[in-house]
Structure 1
Amino acid sequence: MEEVSYRAKSTLVSVSESMFPGISTSVAGKTTLRRGLGNEMVSSLPLQVLMFLNVIYFPVWLSILLMVTWFKFALLNYLYKFVLTTVLVAFSTIEIVRLYLGYLGNLKERVPELAGFWLLSVLLQLPLAAFLLFNTDLILVPIETAADIIMFIFIVAELFIGFFSLRTMTRHQAYRFHLQEITQMSNLEGYVNKAYSPDLETNKVV
């Protein structure tokens, strides 16, 4: 009976640990609270929601742009036919890569991927979206303009939130790196710092 209880307890702790990393650890049947210094999650929920909605909206936007381009293509001159085709292909390809990097960087807390997502947004997607939205030589129609405005808002919002998320994640990674260095140098496992011990009496000045 004791063995069954121990297995059930171990299973519960294992499931809890996989769902909420850092919540607890089980050693030899004894569950102890983990301090989790530097292990808190810093993924951005607002950024994740924005990217989720962006992933859903992107096929809708692309369908509208392709349909409108099909009808107005004959009205464009040769230069803008080439430019519009190139911009749509480039925008669609970059958007897929950008959202993939954003998902990977935010969920797995990877700074390089999140930085790549932010750089693609500010250097490529924002200028391309502005070109599709504000260039009147493309013979814009109302449904196309409405679709481009929504996409432009998505990119701008992701830029602002992504910047703060990237800054927070970078600081957290640096903090965790320094904490690991201190732990390795001082061999802190099982060590109690007396300066922060609640049982330490108030130091007396001699």
Structure 2
Amino acid sequence: MPVFYSAVPDDNGAVGPDHAATTSALRHERCDLSPSRSVASQVSCDLPLQMLIYFNVFYLPLWCLSSVCMLEVKFTYLPGYYQALVITGIVLVTIVEILRLYLGYFGNLEDNVPALSFFCVLTLAIQLPVLLFFVTDEGLAILPLERAIHILFLAFALAECLAAGRALRTLTKKLTLLFNLRQMAKVESFGHVGAPVLGLAYRQAVTPVAHLSCR
């Protein structure tokens, strides 16, 4: 005689729309307590990088004022092409430095990978070469005060670039972990979607419901 089986809900005797609503609420609460929320709420801001940017903001006006004063002192002693190079370099460094500090400040606080990456690109591609030119080219008739302020500015840029690289590595690990946790949560929630009756979760065990005679 054939025996027919049917799946039994997790809660024996708890059926109907009320149980379905309760199950859905519990399932929603469990999703809200997923590890991805705790990981997302963690702050990845790099404190050394933020401190360097903070002090660099105050140092930038001093560097600009000192550079302009030193250029005025030695301007008449420089060849024409060096005069153009120094003026262009000071203007370029000042403009790029404002943009660079903004990107570093925003990217570090907001966990923004593109902003921090562009911050490193500007440092390596523009600031460091121009500052090295100001420090090493003897044709500029470098004054002692001028050399000191450029070396300090160069040290700021190098330290910020190293700190930004470390912050990018930490932030990338956090975003990778968060992405993996979200994918796992999606797979887990997919397993509970589309239950046959009233959205109830079923056991794998079965119980006989009827014994019918075979004619």
What range describes the TM-score normalised by the shorter chain of this pair? 0.7 to 0.9
In the alignment, which residue of structure 2 is the partner of 1:200? none
**CA deviation after TM superposition for structure 1 residue 171, in Å:** 1.6
Shift of 1:33: 8.5
Provide the rounded CA distance (Å) in 1 between the counterparts of 2:88 and 2:108: 30
The number of residue pairs the alignment matches comes to 157
Q: In structure 2, how many angstroms separate the alpha carbons of the residues matched to 1:183 and 1:112?
A: 26
1:162 is the counterpart of 2:164: yes
Residue-by-residue CA offset, 1:86-120 (whole Å, 9 max, x unaligned)? 11111111101100100010000100000000111
Structure number, greater radius of gyration: 2
Q: Distance in 2 between matches of 1:131 and 1:55?
A: 22
Instruction: Report the AA paired with residue 114 of structure 2.
Output: P
What TM-score does the superposition give when structure 2 sets the normalisation length?
Answer: 0.69
Kindly provide the amino acid, as one letter, of the partner of residue 119 in structure 2: F
d(CA) in 2 for partners of 1:120 and 1:139?
A: 27
Deviations, residues 155-189 of structure 1 (Å, cap 9, x unaligned)? 1111111111111111211211221222223229x
For 2:118, the equivalent position in structure 1 comes to: 116
| Superposed displacement of residue 34, structure 1 | 8.3
- Counterparts of residues 51-200 of structure 1 (less than 5 Å): 51-187=53-189
CA deviation string 1:36-77 (max 9, x = no partner): 134311110000000001011010011000111111111110
CA distance in 2, matches of 1:167, 1:45: 14
Structure 2 counterpart SS, 1:52: helix
Tell me if the contact between 1:38 and 1:175 (Cα under 8 Å) persists in the aligned partners: no
Looking at structure 2, the residues matched to 95 and 66 of structure 1 have their Cα atoms a distance apart, in angstroms, of 16
CA distance in 2, matches of 1:160, 1:125: 14
Bigger fraction of residues in strand:
2
Q: Tell which has more relative contact order, 1 or 2 (C-alpha 8 A, sep 6+).
A: 2
Maintained 8 Å contact 1:105/1:113:
yes
**Identity fraction in percent:** 32
The answer (yes or no) to whether the contact 1:51–1:103 under 8 Å persists in 2 is yes
Q: Distance in 1 between matches of 2:73 and 2:39?
A: 59
Aligned mates of 2:93, 2:105 — CA distance in 1: 18
The letter of the residue matching 1:53 is F
Write the distance in 2 (CA, Å) between the matches of 1:77 and 1:92.
Answer: 23
CA RMSD of aligned residues (A): 1.8
Name the structure 1 match of 2:43: 41
Q: Which consecutive aligned stretches of 4+ in structure 1 deviate over 2 angstroms post-superposition? A: 32-35
Unaligned runs of at least 5 residues, structure 1: 1-31, 189-206
TM-score (norm 1): 0.72
Q: Secondary structure at the match of 2:45?
A: coil
